Every structure is written in C-alpha cells, then in structure tokens.
Chains A and B, each alone.
Chain A
Amino acid sequence: MIRTAWLVAAKDLRIEMRSRVLLWQVVPFGVIALLLCGLALGPAHAGRSSAGPGLYYLVTLLVTLLMVNRSQAVERSPGTKSSVATLGLDPAGVFLGKSLALAIELWVTGLVLLAGAVLVLHTALHGAIVALPSIVVTLGALAAAGTLYGALTAGGETTATLLPVLCLPAFAPLLIAGERSFYDALHGGSLLGWWVIVVVALVSYLAMGILLYGVLED
C-alpha cells in the first residue's frame, strides 16, 4: 500500500511539474482572490481586519476545489483508468498517493497565500508562523477529503458543478477549525481544542478513504 502510495504521489507530482498548471494557473488565481478579498474589505479596513484568517481559508478552499478537479482530471486521460486496473494497484495506496500529492501541492500554495495574507491583509508574521503547524494539518485533511469527494464526482459531465456542492459543506468544519486555530495563533489563544478537531478530521478522512476508495474505483 505504501509503495503504491509513493508511486502514485510521484506520478501526480511529476505531471504537475511538467504541466505547471499549479504555478501558472492555480497560484495566480489564489493571489488574485486574496487581492479581491482586500478590495472587498476596502482600503481602510483591509490592513487591520480580524477577518484575515477567515479570508485566507476561504481562498484556500476555492484553490482546493480547483486542485481536486485537476487531480481527478489527470486520471481521466485516455487509457489511464484501464492501465491502473491492469496494474492491479491497491486502491488504498492510490488514495493515499493522490492525497499526499494533493497535500504537497496545497502546502506549497498555502505558503504562497500565507505570504500574501501577511503582505496584503497585514496578518502578523509571528502569528502566521505560530499557525503554520495547524495550517499544515488542516490542508492535509482538506487534501484527504478532497481526494475522496473528487473520486465521487469523477467522470461525469457535471463534475465541475457537482464537486463544490458536495465538497464545500464537508469542508465547512475544517474551515471553521482552521480559521479558529489561525485566529487563536494571532491573538495568543489556546490552539489545542481546534487542533484536536482537525487531527480527528484528518484521521477520519484517511481511514474512510482507505476503506472506501476501492468501492469508488470499481
């Protein structure tokens, strides 16, 4: 399972490195969305808003949707599905691999967006650094959940519209926990309670994915 996970993760990351969709499309989209958040708050409020953590996670969710779509799209190219079926890869390993690749892409994008939040929304640098571990775990949980929901909607004509309908309500608890822990990191509050929620969510989604991904790939 672990070997399959490494293989699939390496394959997805290699495709991303070659196509550079993340670099030229997803990251610029995230930065534009962050700038628009600043504009929506207005020049007088953008720099001292307490909405920074919430806006950061909102933009991250939108970026996650794009990346989940992208992660599933690479499996839809002609012959890929039959090749994977012929190789007899362990579905749990495929799930873990795709989740890991998505998590790595999200961590890179999340770092860029965090720098953007510090610059544009004037989020305190020290607080942002304190929040980093919780952001890493939250984005990991988003990647696991996104991979699972992406597989649920894959292959249909309505994937692009169906994915947000299914994903966003499921992402909401992660958004709340992530935003609260980021907020607490900025204002010196206790991170433990929200950390527990995010870690439980990460473990639950990984367990569900390992158990159920094979059913979706049949």
Chain B
Amino acid sequence: MAKHLLERLLGPVTLALLALTFWFGLWVTPPDKVQGNLARLVYVHPSVAWVALYVSFGTATIASVLYLWTRTRSMVMDRVAHCAMELSVLFIVLTLITGSIWGRPTWGVWWAWDARLTSTAILGVLALGYLALRRANDDPALRARRSAVFAILAAINVPIIHFSVDWWKTLHQGATVFGEGRHLKIHGLMAGTLLISFVGFTLLFFWLLRARYRLEVQREALTTATLDDALATRRREGAMQ
C-alpha cells in the first residue's frame, strides 16, 4: 500500500520540486554579486551532473555488481543497469550542454580541454559504448554478463572526474557546495534552492528509471510473444503440409 502510494506520488512530487527550482532559481533568488544572472545556472548544472555521474552511473554500476554476484543475479539487475545507463547518457549530455552555456560567457569558449570536461565527455562515450555493446550481443545471458563487466570497468572514470579538479590545475572550479573543512559555500535562499534542485533532479532520475524499466519489461514481453507467434505459425504451416 505504502509502496503503491510512493509510486503514485513520485511523478507529481518530482514535477513540483522542479517547478519550485525554476521559480526560485529564475525569480526569487537574487543575482550573484560577481557573475550576475549567469550564476542561476548553479541551480541546474551541479544537480544534473550529480545525477549523471553519481546517481545514474552509480545505479548502473551497483546493479551490474549485483548481477555478477551469483546470490543476487537476476535479469532485473541487468534491466536496471541498462535503463540507468541510458539515463546516464541523457544526463551526461545535459551536464555538458549546461556547462558549455556557462563556459562561453565565463571562459570565452564553448569547450576547453579541461580535465573535468574531458573526463566527463569520456564517461559519456563509455556510456554510449555500453549501449553499443548491448546491441552487439543477442544472447541475453552473455549480453548481461559482458555489459555488467564493462559498466564496472567504466565506473573507474567516475572518481577520476570527481578528483580531477584537485589533481590537476583546471579551469573548472572546485567543489560548488562545500569548501575546505566541509563548510557550506552557499547560504540562505540560494542554498535552499540548490537543495530543492538536487532532490528534484534525483527524483526525476528515479521517475524516468521506473518508466523506462516498465517499457523494457513490455518490450521483452512483446519480443517473446512475437517469437512465440512466429513459431506457432511455422508449426501450423508444417502440420498443413
């Protein structure tokens, strides 16, 4: 009952939080002292990047590990990893686009060969590679096994992206929310809006994941039904001859 209610509420709550984010971000919060209205992108870009790198890629990696672990191995884990990786591609592209929109007026270029940008783009290509790998294998068990291994290998890139701003001298700024010693760098209404944005985009990911998962289950059922129909037709043809 509670699960059913949560599922029903997920969509409306997500939409409400995203609407709040855009209302607060565009109209209620003040412009930044240095960057002016450009700083309003902070209510979108870090949250989208958080979902792209940690929530969606993390979900895909954990589901892949659980698939490879024999005790928890099931096609559910494989489906979750697949759907999360598809969403990861979407959110990585959004991260790069929103970053570019911020970079053009700030750095003067749409793209810079910066460690954080480059490693994020590489992660995007790896996620596309994951989807290509899935399409190349028809056997479901082999496909699931290979995809799971690849997802784990690709996840090595996530800590590299996270620490890239500390390891190398990058154009990209360091941590946005927390400074040294875990001190908050953003306060008041701006911090509140940022928090709503993080929760909103995280819920958006789970809402989309749920919808994509259902679609995948239906697609698999349709493929099986089509195959069964084709086999039945052939059998009927064989019986008539």
Contact = CB atoms under 8 A, between A and B. Distances in A.
Interface string B110-129: 00000000110010011011
A162 B147 CA distance: 13
B22 interface: no
Contact of A162 (B125, B132, B148): B132
Given A148-B153, A208-B152, A166 B68 contact: no
Interface string A179-218: 0000000000000000000000000100010001001101
A130 interface: no
Interface string B35-73: 000000000000000000000000000000000100000
A156 to B, nearest CB: 5
A42 interface: no
Given A208-B152, A208-B153, A215-B68, A173 B160 contact: yes
A170 interface: yes
Contact of A212 (B132, B136, B149): B149
Interface string B152-195: 11101100100000000000000000000000000000000000
Contacts of A218: 145
Given A152-B146, A156-B137, A216-B146, A165 B132 contact: yes
A157 B139 CA distance: 13
A166 B145 contact: no
Contacts of A148: 149, 153
B152 A169 contact: no
A153 B145 contact: no
A156 B153 contact: no
A172 interface: yes
B150 interface: yes
Interface string A143-155: 0000011001100
Question: Max chain A CB contacts within 10 Å: which of B145, B149, B152?
Answer: B149
B64 to A, nearest CB: 11
A162 B126 contact: no
Contacts of A19: none
B133 A169 contact: no
A158 interface: yes
B111 to A, nearest CB: 16
A166 B150 contact: yes
Contacts of A158: 136
A204 B136 contact: no
B149 A156 contact: no
Nearest to B145: A215
Given A153-B136, A156-B136, A215-B145, A169 B68 contact: no
A165 B150 CA distance: 12
25 contacts: A148-B149, A153-B136, A156-B137, A157-B136, A162-B132, A162-B133, A162-B136, A165-B125, A165-B128, A165-B129, A166-B126, A166-B133, A166-B150, A169-B122, A169-B125, A170-B153, A173-B122, A212-B149, A212-B152, A212-B153, A215-B68, A215-B149, A216-B145, A216-B146, A218-B145
Interface of B: 68, 118-119, 122, 125-126, 128-129, 132-133, 136-137, 145-146, 148-150, 152-154, 156-157, 160
Given A157-B136, A170-B126, A208-B152, 19 more contacts: A149-B153, A152-B133, A152-B149, A152-B150, A153-B133, A156-B137, A158-B136, A162-B133, A165-B132, A166-B132, A166-B133, A166-B150, A168-B125, A173-B119, A173-B157, A212-B153, A215-B145, A216-B145, A216-B146
Shortest Cβ-Cβ A-B pairs, 10 listed: A169-B125, A166-B129, A158-B136, A169-B122, A169-B126, A156-B136, A165-B129, A212-B149, A162-B136, A152-B146
